[in-house]
Amino acid sequence: FGENLITNSSRTFHKDGQSQIVQVNALADRPQPSALLEEYQALLLAEKDCMAAIRESEWEISEIIKLRTNQEQNISLETPYYDIVRIKAEESEEEEEDEKESAYDYLSPFLPNLTGMQQLSREQALEVREKCLKALKDRLIERANIIQARLDEESAALAKRQQSFNRDRDQMTAEEEEEYEKAVEESMFRIHILEKRLKRHEEQALHKYYELDHKLRSDTRLASLLQPV
């Protein structure tokens, strides 16, 4: 803009090298052709640099998108060390329970009192076998129900905690929000463990049933089961 003027001079350059000059002050010196050429060449160079920068930015964006897509398709969750210790503790409890069951004489509670060298009849052996299998089945169902009840209780507590948070979050302090997040994390961990235990129990239940059935058929105290009818 010139002094005390509200309009300004302009220069328009075309690709063919032609230029259009609008000069507000008619008394001002017009730019020399050499100066216009120099300005035109500077603009061409600036345009070239700008296009190169745009292409480089587009390439960087493309690479970032490829990287993020690859990362999202290959997500791997790592369990913190503290959680690994807790999971192992939970598994140890299950192993101890299994060891106790293994050491337990599965058959003796169902055997009738026999005298001397008296052997079980086939009917008695069948009855003992059925009672023994039923007792195992009942224990497996009871354990599954206990785990499921704990899982339902934990899930309900988490849902209630989340509802309370959504209702009161506007009035909560930063410390209260942090406590909430920790509580949710703990609850989610317990739910994960219970779901894992329930799934494992369901997978092992049928195996334990057939394993006991095989032991019963091989137990000498039920040898009459092998006798022909």
Q: Where are the domains of the chain?
A: 10-73, 81-226
Q: So what's the pLDDT on residue 97?
A: 62
Mean pLDDT of 47-72: 90
pLDDT 10s digits, 29-49: 777 888 888 888 898 899 999
Greatest Cα-to-Cα distance within the chain, rounded to the nearest angstrom: 138
Alpha carbon distance 127, 35 (integer Å): 113
On the question of pLDDT at 152 being above 90, the answer is yes
Alpha carbon distance 108, 60 (integer Å): 74
On the question of pLDDT at 164 being above 80, the answer is yes
Cα separation values, 25 from 18, 19, 42, 124, 189, Å: 22, 18, 25, 123, 78
Distance spanning both ends of the chain, measured CA to CA: 118
Mean pLDDT of 56-69: 91
Alpha carbon distance 169, 178 (integer Å): 11
